[in-house]
Amino acid sequence: MQLPLLRLDDEVEIHPARKLLGTVDAVLVAGGRDFVTARADTLDLGFDGIAGDHHRGVTRRSGGREPWYPRGTEMRNERQLSIVAADELAIVAGRMELAEILPEWIGANMVLGGVPGLSMLPAGTLLFFSGGVTLKVDGQNVPCRIAGRSIADHARMPDREAGALLFPKVARRLRGLVAWVEKPGRIAAGEKVSVRIPEQWIYRP
């Protein structure tokens, strides 16, 4: 007879919820035909994401990140915003032997400051902006060759394809986060943001 699974909570390492305070250093919009963004003063957000942005939509089509679906399957858009940190981009630039990597080059919609290890914020983290908007973090934004190729083009790297391949290797866990709109409104550069990190643990069945 199979015994029922016992849960011994005292054996689980649980990290309590935390709050941090950050700043919106820049906001950006991809208003063209591709993901490359440009600086803006504000972002107007609805439940479908940023008004006029390349990644706007309540749903999106699946791609290489979702191998469990046939490519092109309609699914919920949890990638409405791309959020990065300047200190992490500086580390990636150093690893690629570049003077800088601008957030525009990799399609970032927001640069957040004052949040240590931004890319390591767990899924479910809530971002409460002083102007009233709330975003929910879906998870890390995995670096890809498309963004690497954009970096190589903008930085005028001599070997475009080498740059495209290098970026995914050196930017893992430093490429920022993707998030979706939980409470719409307007976000302005310079706003404060309260970062609410949920209780965390490692699941071991």
Please check whether residue 22 is in contact with residue 114, taking contact to mean a CB–CB distance below 8 angstroms.
yes
| Segment 100-158, tens digit of pLDDT | 999 999 999 999 999 999 999 999 999 999 999 999 999 999 999 999 999 999 999 99
Q: Which two tokens stand for residue 158?
A: 């001599």
CA distances from residue 10 to 13, 14, 112, 198 in whole angstroms, order as listed: 8, 9, 36, 19
Tell me the one-letter amino acid at 202. Answer: I
Q: Which of 1, 13, 2 lies closest to 204 in space, CA to CA?
A: 13
Burial-class residue 112 by CB neighbours within 10 Å (0-12, 13-18, 19+).
buried
| Segment 46-73, tens digit of pLDDT | 999 999 999 999 999 999 889 999 999 9
CA distances from residue 114 to 4, 21, 63, 87, 136 in whole angstroms, order as listed: 46, 7, 32, 10, 18
Phi, psi of 138 (to 5 degrees): -85, -40
Interior CA angle at 35 toward 32 and 41, to 5°? 70
pLDDT (0 to 100) of residue 6 = 52
